[in-house]
Structure 1
Amino acid sequence: MLSPISRFLVSHGASAFATGVHLVLMAWISIVELGLSSSQLGWIQAAVLFPNLLLILVAGAWADRVNPAKVMVAAQLLLSCSFVSLLLLLTGGYANFVSLLIYAITVGIGQAFIQPVREKLVTQIQGSSAQKRISLLSITQFSLQSCGMALAALTDTVGLNGILVIQIVASLSSCIVLASLVKFIGDGTANTTSGHKTAQDIAGAVRYVINSSGLRQLMALIAFNGYMHMGVFLVAIPVVATGTYRLSSSEYAWLQMLFVLGMICAHTFLLRAKLVEYPGQGALFSLLYTTLIGFALAKGPTPFGFYSLVFLWGLTAGNSAGRCRLVLQSLVVPEMKGRIMAVYQLMLFGAAPFGALVTGYLINYMSIKNIFSFMSMSSAALFVVFLFSRTLWSIKQHVEEGDASSS
């Protein structure tokens, strides 16, 4: 019989596989199959992210009050239904900008509930230190996500409908394994999700963040990462890949995989490392790495250079994400982690759609090189701003039993 942590990772991996397929196919269907403009692509990508603005705090409150595994089962089932709807739209010839926008919104709703609940769930499954659990979670996520992207690269061989069927099976499998995990997880502080109590929990989480200078600065950094590493990336890279470098569907999928591979490498380094005493320092230095990547992309690299820079972008994004989550785990008490992680995800996914929309429209009025130059300059400017405060630099990771034994 699989242990609770193994069940969680199997379910999480199957969900990540389905998400990997989604990430490639949605952009490819938008640009190639439907011929949407860059601004329309911006709206499609933003539609996946906007539901987080409305629902992610509710998800975080529920994660602290009820069994988080139950919430994840419901959210994953919604994602499965969304993937089925896309298959029906394509086979029935009903796919267009509006229908794809609705599909993106439903996917966004499912992801809005999964993100904070998953982080709460991983803290309730014991077995190793927080640093190793977070790293293992991320490695599983991005490894299986890259497998999904690799499958999407076989569109010309397997066929679009065949790939969507495999995606649906993976998503439903995640639901089944998650359901078997419910009995191993506690039900939280109360078996209620009343609107009044949920609102109180959300207000308490916001006050908790406001009253902590470390959390305030962390949220500012996370919002910037969401804008750049998600919003700008989701629009600028597909446009450059298909417009400037004329990549095929398989080549674009491999490009996406390189970004994910960079993230996997970053989390693997974190998994194998001894206790990271001051994780905030590594997160802030990632701003300087982003500065260099943006500068290099603005110079119009060769195709090999473009692929290499996308890999380095993923490495930087993964390094920053892993260390930021360690900072959060060190600053937040266990009974608040679901809600504070929801605020964290709100800042990340709340800023991302604005990055996607702004990039989608700016491409119509300025060169993509100028957009990358702005990314570079703004990253350097934010790093300088953080130099005036030593808060994030000085946050020390909380030492758990697993950490102490491994360091």
Structure 2
Amino acid sequence: MAARLTRFLLGYGGTAMATGLQVILLPWIAVAVADLPALQLGWVQASVLLPNLVFLLFGGVLADRRDSARVAGLACLGLAACHGALLLYFSYRLPDLYVLLLYGVCLGVCTAFLQPARDSLVHRSVQRSEGSDGSAVHSGVQHTVTWMMLAQYGGQAVGMLFASRFDQWGVETLLSIQVSALLMASALLFSLRLRSHDSRHRSRLPPGLIREGFTQAWQRPALRELIALVAFNGFVHIGVFLVVLPLLAEDYGRGASYYATLQLAFIAGTVAASVLMLRRGQGREPGRGILMCMLYSAALLVAISLGPTPLGLLLLCGLWGVVAAASAALGRSVVQILAPEEYRSRIISIYQLALFGSAALGALTAGVVSEYAAPLMTLRWAGGASLVAFALLISSGDLRRYRVGMHD
């Protein structure tokens, strides 16, 4: 494996490990430490995602205008500062709703600049290790994206394993681990920066550059349909996952360790799917695979809504992870292949805005529904909506018919 690709994957894995810790720590601090109800938990979870609605597109512009490795490294330093500030606050008193909202917003702002810059480094790694032939580059992009997803899910699994020791280690130790992981990731991503960078866009204003990104995405029908699909996935699937899963864990009465185990089961599924895709490849029809993943997700949501046993919920979360990893890897590969180099970071930011921006709205909606109905009813409605969306998209065309190599 090329040295640049190794550094990229290690840096990506470091950011993922910090995210894995965050996925467990933030909601559990809100539920178990601050004792917040379901609606306020929804606001806390959404506070991390809502900044994407404002800053993610500007993050894509900045990564296209500046060296994306430098932008990613600085964003990691910002995240480390956020976790360090909460660690300092814990040494004085326990956080309340407003402190957690401020913490979540700051994390969201830094993440909005990190995501497009970090993901745009995929092609930089591929181009250093692959030939210049178009089909070889496309195959290399798919392979590198799969490695990237494995680094993401593996890093998150390590972070969640640490978080599962919440009751033994305490919040302060886990926050210190987050800070250390992000400082390491920052150094690795900084090492990927280029000696020189094209500055032809620096005299232009961001709104015009953002419009260019939307125009480029709209002109590619398969990409346009994919962005609409991931917006639905973010609203229905991620929003439900963020809010309903910790509520279910609390209802089962097994504490933070069980919630962490549910998350680890999900991550184990994502790792298994990524390893399988590394061995077998992603195939020539990724769009069809993404649509089938939506159907499988609908079935899993309905199954969880039936109220499985604690062991059954673990198994279903593992299967959900398999489906989520396959869908995410296929979708990211399509974006990396179809996005022109000059607009790549901006189109990646549009894709991520559709996913995480809608997830913020989905988390708020899931919190409201779970406050006035049962969490299991929220899952049932989400599964039904997914079935309707699948029926609409399978009868459409561009994404379903897209084959790798059909567009240069």
TM-score w.r.t. length of structure 1: 0.93
Residue 267 of structure 1 pairs with residue 278 of structure 2 = no
Structure 2 CA distance for aligned equivalents of residues 266 and 61 of structure 1: 32
Count of paired positions: 397
Residue 197 of structure 1 pairs with residue 205 of structure 2 = yes
Structure 1 CA distance for aligned equivalents of residues 172 and 282 of structure 2: 46
Which deviates the most, 96-105 or 383-392? Answer: 383-392
How big is each residue's C-alpha offset from its partner over 1:334-384, in whole Å with a ceiling of 9 and x where there is no partner?
Answer: 222111111000100110011100110111211222211111111111111
SS at match of 1:92: coil
SS at match of 2:191: helix
Q: Closer, same or farther in 2 for the Cα pair 1:70/1:330, shift >3 Å?
A: closer
Residue 148 of structure 1 pairs with residue 159 of structure 2 = yes
User: Any conservation in 1 of the 2:34–2:94 contact (CA below 8 Å)?
Assistant: no
Residue 325 of structure 1 pairs with residue 336 of structure 2 = no
Partner of 1:167: 178
Q: Which amino acid aligns with 2:284?
A: E
User: Any conservation in 2 of the 1:45–1:353 contact (CA below 8 Å)?
Assistant: yes
How big is each residue's C-alpha offset from its partner over 1:59-101, in whole Å with a ceiling of 9 and x where there is no partner?
Answer: 1112222110110111111100000011112121051110110
Identity over the aligned pairs, expressed in percent? 34
Partner of 1:386: 393
Which deviates the most, 209-218 or 79-88? Answer: 209-218
User: Any conservation in 2 of the 1:19–1:148 contact (CA below 8 Å)?
Assistant: yes
Q: Which amino acid aligns with 2:188?
A: V
Unmatched 5+ residue regions in structure 1? 401-407
Structure 2 CA distance for aligned equivalents of residues 282 and 54 of structure 1: 31
Partner of 1:12: 12
Partner of 1:61: 61
Which deviates the most, 172-181 or 225-234? Answer: 172-181
Q: Closer, same or farther in 2 for the Cα pair 1:56/1:4, shift >3 Å?
A: same
Unmatched 5+ residue regions in structure 2? 131-139
1:206-245 aligned within 5 A: 206-243=214-251, 245=252
Partner of 2:95: 95
User: Any conservation in 1 of the 2:301–2:382 contact (CA below 8 Å)?
Assistant: yes
Deviation at 1:287, TM superposition (A): 1.4
Residue 248 of structure 1 pairs with residue 255 of structure 2 = yes
Q: Which amino acid aligns with 2:15?
A: S
Structure 1 CA distance for aligned equivalents of residues 185 and 282 of structure 2: 32
Q: Which amino acid aligns with 1:254?
A: T
Partner of 1:44: 44
User: Any conservation in 2 of the 1:61–1:201 contact (CA below 8 Å)?
Assistant: yes
User: Any conservation in 2 of the 1:61–1:339 contact (CA below 8 Å)?
Assistant: yes
Partner of 1:25: 25
Q: Closer, same or farther in 2 for the Cα pair 1:342/1:113, shift >3 Å?
A: same
Which of 182, 187, 192 in structure 1 is aligned with 2:197? Answer: 187
Q: Closer, same or farther in 2 for the Cα pair 1:97/1:263, shift >3 Å?
A: same
Partner of 1:363: 370
User: Any conservation in 2 of the 1:229–1:317 contact (CA below 8 Å)?
Assistant: no
How big is each residue's C-alpha offset from its partner over 1:151-205, in whole Å with a ceiling of 9 and x where there is no partner?
Answer: 0111222232122112211111112222222246x5244473x5x4322110111
Partner of 1:308: 315
Partner of 2:134: none
Deviation at 1:275, TM superposition (A): 5.3
Q: Which amino acid aligns with 2:331?
A: C
Structure 2 CA distance for aligned equivalents of residues 214 and 275 of structure 1: 17
How big is each residue's C-alpha offset from its partner over 1:193-232, in whole Å with a ceiling of 9 and x where there is no partner?
Answer: x5x4322110111112223322221111010111133111
Which of 331, 338, 341 in structure 1 is aligned with 2:345? Answer: 338
Structure 2 CA distance for aligned equivalents of residues 207 and 367 of structure 1: 42
Q: Which amino acid aligns with 2:111?
A: Q
Structure 2 CA distance for aligned equivalents of residues 82 and 217 of structure 1: 36
